[in-house]
Structures are given as C-alpha cells and as structure tokens.
Structure 1
Amino acid sequence: MYRLLALDMDGTLLNKEHKISRENFEAIQEALRMDIKIVLASGRIFGGMLPYLEQLNIIDDENYSVSCAGGLVLNNTMSKVIQSNGLNIEDLKYIYGLTKELNLSLNVYTRDSILVFQDDIFSRFESIANNVPLKLVDFNSLSDDIEIYKITIINDSIDAVMKMKKFFKKLHTSDIIQDKRYKGIKRLEDDILDKISTKLSDKYTVVKPFQFTLEVINKSCNKWTGIKKIAEELGIQNEEIICIGDSENDEHMIRNAGLGVAMANGFSKVKEIADYVTYTNDQHGVAHVINKFILGKEIAYAEG
C-alpha cells in the first residue's frame, strides 16, 4: 500500500498552461481523503510552490515540500526545516568563474529570492514561475555569509530564448532578442552544458531540468534525499512511496521510490529508468497514476 505521493511540478503536475488540471486536482483530493501524503518536489523556491500548495489545501504543519531541487525541505507553514544543505560564497565564486569563461548565465537561489547578475530570458521565466521579482545584484556586493540553496546555469542562446518563449507564453522577449549577446549565436547546447557539468559533478549534485539549463546543489542532496527525510519524519518506508517526474532532476527520486513513474513527455533517460510511464502532463498523467495505483480504478482522460 502506498502512503506518500511525491510530484514534480513543471512538466508533471502542471499542464502546458502551468495549471493543475481539474482531473489532477480531483484525483489528488481523493488521495488526500485516503490519508495519502502529497509532497511537491520542485526546483522552484518555496514561494513559487506556495500558490499550488494553497490550491491543493495542504498548508499545515504536517505537510511538507521539497524546494530548490532538494536544497531546502520544510513543512508547508515554513515553521520547520528538515533538510537544509546549501552552498557558500566560495562555491558561488568558483561556479561563477566557470560560467564567465564559457559565456553562460547564472541565477542564485536563496530561501525566498532569486538573485541574478543579468536580465535574460531565463531569469524572467524564473521570476514568473517563482512568483518573485527579478533581483539584479552586483556579484561583488554579496555577503560572505549568504545562504545559497541552488545555482542555475543557463545557456541563454537564441535557441534557448525561442524555446522558453514557446514554453511560457507570458514572457516578454522582444528586447532580449535584440540584445547583441544573442545575435548570431550558434551554440551546441548539450556540448557546452556537458562540459561544465563534468567539471562540477565531483563537488556538487548537477542535474539538467531543461535542455539548456543545469541545476547545481550541495553534493549531499537531491529531490530524493528530501523526500526520504519527509518519509522518515512521517514513519513511511521507501516501498510506500510513489514519485512522478519528467526531467533529469527527478531521476534520483524515480530510481529510489517504491514506484518510480515518468511522464510520457519526459526525458528519454528518465523514462528508461522508471518502473512505469504514465500519460503526458496535458493528458492528466498524475491523475492516471493516482487512479491506477492508489484508488484501484482505470479512467481514460482526454487531452486538455
């Protein structure tokens, strides 16, 4: 019997409109009535998760979330932190130096804000997705005791700009596209990101949530370590956990859960390691898993 369901957000729980579909919502509510714990596990800061936690009605001391890809795990009233594994200013200086060499952009996640050193398309996306304003800062002005939970490295080529525009229609891109940094840029995204990932992977956990970004967090944590901490807090065993995700930052939790589920729209690598592949995020893949493995019923959903 399963007792905890951990859900990635973007590309998994949320559809292409970045909303929880009625089908997913209703299935989750039915699971909650059966005392199934619902845990959102995201690369977002907690503020970017909060509206969805409120919608699901799981804002209380006994429900938990994994934020910053596992860097910060806390209960949904933010009154109790059960995992806090961050990076320090020396880590940031080292990673910043590497990204500067390769002409890549970088965002820094603290507990409740995202610091950026440039105004680019991905920073704007992060601002909207995490429900925080862009906070442009001077790298040299940062305090030595800054608490960092995640660093995102971005290959902000013109190809990435256009992909982000397709992914998130609210983005304003006309001024970005005219920026001289993007004119004539022809990058092999995977080559560049793989190069820096190789340099960083010995010291940090490095995962790729999108084809043109890397997430860098403390070596000791990832989404699964956060979920496992929550499960231990609640007296839940690994085999009683279902984890659902779509991208590389979901790999650890999909590999280790009692039932690891990949979205049909997910990375090929993630689908290969999953125990089960559900429908896409626009076909209510989360609802399908809940119905099939928790509620014991088969329901066919139409897309949209």
Structure 2
Amino acid sequence: MYKLITSDMDETLLSDKKVITPATVAAIKRASATGVYFVPNTGRSFNSIQDNLIQLGLSQKPDQYVISYNGAAIIENQQNRVLQVNALPYEIVEQLFKIGMREHLCVHVYTVDELYIWNMNDKETDYLNGRVTGWKLMHEDSLKFLQQTPITKIIFNIEAEAQRLSMQDYVEKNVDFALNISFSSDRYIEFNDPSADKGQAVLALAAKLGIKPSEVIAVGDNSNDLPMIKAAGLGVSVANGRDFVQAEANYVTQADNNHDPLAEIINKFIFEEE
C-alpha cells in the first residue's frame, strides 16, 4: 500500500494556467482523508505555494510537509517550520553567479526565505507571475550581502535546450565542485549542493515518517524530478513529461498536466479504481 505521494508542481500538479484543477484537488483531499501524505516537491520556495496548500487543505497543518528548492529544504507546514537545509557553499554560488553575469543571463538566487533575481526580463516576469511572488530584484553585481546566509540553489534562465546543455558542460569543466545540475520547465538550468535533490529529500522525509521507499509514489516531468522518480517505489511521469523522464518511470499517465494526472494516479494506485 502506498502511504506517501510526492509531486512536482509546475508542469505536473499545476496546469498550464498555473492552477490545480478541481478534480485533482478532490482526489488529493480524498487520499489525505485516508492518511496518505501528499507532499509537494518543488524547485520553488515553500512560500510560493502557500495558496496551493490552502486549496488542498494542507496549509499550516502539523505533520504535513513540503520539499523545496529541489530537495535543499524540508518544511513542516505548521508555522512553515524548517526541518532540514542542504545549502551550497557561498564560494561556489559566487563563482556561478559571475558566470551568469558574464553571459548576461537572468539569474535566480534562493535562500531559505527569499528569492533574489539579477537581470530580470519581461518574458521571465510573465512566466513567474501566478507562480512566484515577492521576489527581490538585485541591482548590484555582487552577492556579498548573502555571504553569511544559507543559499539553497542558484539557477539560470536559458530557454534554448542546446544552450542549457552547453552551459552544463562549461560549468562541469570549470567549477571544481560536484554540483547537482538539473533542468526544469524547459527554461532553467539549476545548481544545487550534491546533498540536495528531490529523491534524497523524499527518502529522508519518508524515513522520518516510518515509510518505506516502496510505499512512496513520486510524480514529475523533467530532469530535476528524476532522482525522486528513481528513488520511489512507484516513479511516475505525467504524459507531458520529457521522453527521458518517461523512459525512467514505472508508469506514464494517460493525462497531461492539464487533464488531472494526479487524480488518475490516486484513483488507480491508492483506490485501485480504473
């Protein structure tokens, strides 16, 4: 029996209109009522999904959780209590930031509580609106103000896949640190500490809850979701997932993110309804 479902947010749980549709909300509430944990597992901040938690009936609940920043933080929903942080060394973030500046990229820098953005552009603003609020624009070419603050991840907005892959190759050759590098939303290359990925985080949370990996369902669509898809007892790709994600999944939904894939998964694997 599956006891925990963990799901990516953008392009998985959320539709292209940036909402959780009513059928999915109903299915998640139904599963939660039977004692199944539903844990959002996102590259974004836990602060950015509070409205979604309210919609799902999970906001400010004790013994309910969110995994954020690609696994760099585990949060208990009640009072947004931070349980675990796996931060990047400041020197590595600074090196990556200088690479992003040199290439004139839009760069996001995440702490546990804040998102700072350097070189914002209109297309990026349009994408973030409705997903993320309260970011802070950086007007100086320095991260010194964050030198004593844990940084959970840094990402570059690069929309062309070939350029994302080229950037990955460049960073791997020029940054002397075993970064966890992943891609998301077909627009970002993301850099985390090697101790931080969605798979390691969900296994740590499951162990805390006394849940076996075989009792976990993990759902996603892109490369930053692969660690949890591989780690879970049932790894699931939504129908709109990248081909390489579908190839690693135990199950691929018939529905894409606009047509309630989480409801499909819950009905099939939690309640054994076709």
For normalisation by structure 1, the TM-score amounts to 0.82
| Offset, 1:188 | 4.3
Matched position secondary structure for 1:10: helix
Which amino acid letter does the alignment assign opposite residue 27 of structure 1?
Answer: A
Among residues 139, 150, 160, which one is paired with 1:147 in the alignment?
Answer: 150
* Shift, 1:86, TM fit: 0.7
Is the counterpart of residue 196 in structure 1 residue 198 in structure 2? Answer: no
The AA in structure 2 aligned to 1:237 is K
Given the superposition, is the C-alpha separation of residues 188 and 103 from structure 1 closer, same or farther in structure 2, using an over 3 Å criterion? farther
Structure 2 residue matching 1:149: 3-state secondary structure: strand
Q: Deviations over 1:192-233 (max 9, x none)?
A: 333335335952111000333111111111011111121112
Distance in structure 1 (CA, Å) of the matches to 2:153 and 2:37: 26
Aligned-pair CA distance for 1:94 = 1.0
Q: Which amino acid counterpart does residue 36 of structure 2 have in structure 1?
A: I
Q: Does 1:227 align with 2:202?
A: yes
1:231 counterpart SS class = helix
The corresponding residue for 2:127 is: 125
- Structure 2: distance between partners of 1:149 and 1:75: 17
* CA displacement, residues 20-39 of structure 1 (integer Å, 9 cap, x when unaligned): 11111111111011110000
Larger radius of gyration: 1
| 2:234 aligned residue | 259
Contact 1:108 1:150 survives alignment (8 Å): yes
What CA distance in whole angstroms lies between the structure 2 residues aligned with 1:23 and 1:124? Answer: 27
Q: CA deviation at 1:105?
A: 2.9
Match of 2:268 in 1: 292
Deviation at 1:139, TM superposition (A): 3.4
1:8 is aligned to 2:8: yes
Specify every segment of 5 or more residues in structure 1 that has no aligned partner in the other structure, as ranges. 161-185, 299-304
Q: Is the 8 A contact 1:127 1:133 kept in 2?
A: no
Q: 1:122 offset after TM fit, Å?
A: 2.5
Measure, in 2, the Cα distance between the counterparts of 1:187 and 1:297: 38
**Counterpart amino acid of residue 105 in structure 2:** L
- Distance of aligned partners of 1:220 and 1:26 in 2 relative to their CA distance in 1, 3 Å threshold: same
Aligned partner of 1:277 in structure 2 is: 252
Other-structure match for 1:56? 56
Contact 1:189-1:211 within 8 A present in 2 as well: no
Which residue identity is paired with 1:61? P
Q: Is the 8 A contact 2:112 2:150 kept in 1?
A: yes
Between the two proteins, the alignment pairs up a number of residues equal to 269
Pairwise CA RMSD: 2.0
Counterpart position of 2:224: 249
Instruction: Tell whether 2:274 aligns with 1:268.
Output: no
